[in-house]
Each structure stands twice: as C-alpha cells, then as structure tokens.
Amino acid sequence: MFKAFKKHKDLILYSSSLALLLLLLRWLEFRFLVLSTSLDIYIGIIAAVFMGLGIWLALKLFKPKPKTIVVEKEVYVTPTPEFVLNQKELDNLNLTIRELEVLELMAKGMSNKEIADQLFVSLNTIKTHSGKLFEKMEVKRRTQAVEKAKRLSIIP
C-alpha cells in the first residue's frame, strides 16, 4: 500500500487537494456566500486553482534534464611489457611446433583456410592440428584456446 502511495504521491496529492477545494467551495456557498452569486465566479475560481495545480504538477513531473558535459583530455598509456614465453606451460601442454604456429595464427583472427594457405598445408591438416590443440588445451572453441594461451603466456 505504501509503495503504491509513493509511486503515485503527486497524483494522490493533486486529486485530494481538488476534492478538498470542491468541498470548501460548497461549504462556502452554503455558509458565507450569497446564493445569488454568479456561477461565473465559481467557474473562474475553480479554473484558477486548477491552473495553479496544473502548473505545479507540470513543474514537479517535467524537471529539466541535466546537461551532459564532454571533457576531452589526453591519456598517456604506458607501453606494454615485451612478451616472455612461458616455456614451462608450453612443455606441460606438450604442443608441437606446428600446433603452436596454428594457435598463433588463430590468435591473429585467421580462418582455417587462411591458416592452411599461410602454412602451405591442406585444410584437413589444419583441422586435425586444431582438434589436437583443443584436446591438449582442454577447450572446445578457438576463442577459448586463444584466451587460455594468452593467459598462460604461450602466445603474445
């Protein structure tokens, strides 16, 4: 119940204030105002109050958006350290030189066909090397193999 009140607080406040205003006008009509008062005065008062509440509600609901400021500045990046091959991990994986070459070319984003052309071997040979490479590295996809090889410092 309180969540609904918080969510619609402005609407509830607006409608309840209008209801109180109408009750007040009715009470004033019977108590203090002469019954012969023109209906135009009542309509004018109600219109002015509605206009005031409408402006207040509009200002409350439609606040101006904050300005976005873009700040440009130079960023200095330190050079990455040179790659050092982790020979221990390479020996643990027991990769052949050809499998390592295939892995390096995979890391460059080459397809199997491009790797085959680069190494002057058939496409099936590359697929065989890739399969053995995935098996030794205990991965299922090229991206996993490249990520693991970079993490283990086998390829730059």
What tokens appear for 6 in the block? 């918080």
Cα separation, 44 vs 28, in Å, equals 15
pLDDT: which is higher, 150 or 44: 150
Predicted pLDDT at 112? 92
Instruction: Please report the pLDDT score of residue 59 as a whole number.
Output: 76
Q: How much is the pLDDT for 140?
A: 92
CA distances from 35 to 32, 49, 77, 151 (A): 9, 21, 83, 89
Q: For position 1, what pLDDT does the model report?
A: 53
3-state secondary structure 22-89: HHHHHHHHHHCCCCCCCHHHHHHHHHHHHHHHHHHHHHHHCCCCCCCCCCCCCCCCCCCCCCCCCHHH
Supply the pLDDT for residue 102: 92
| pLDDT one-digit tens code per residue, 107-132 | 999 999 999 999 999 999 999 999 99
pLDDT (tens digit, 9 = 90+) per residue, 50-106? Answer: 888 877 777 777 776 778 888 888 878 777 778 787 888 888 888 889 999 999 999
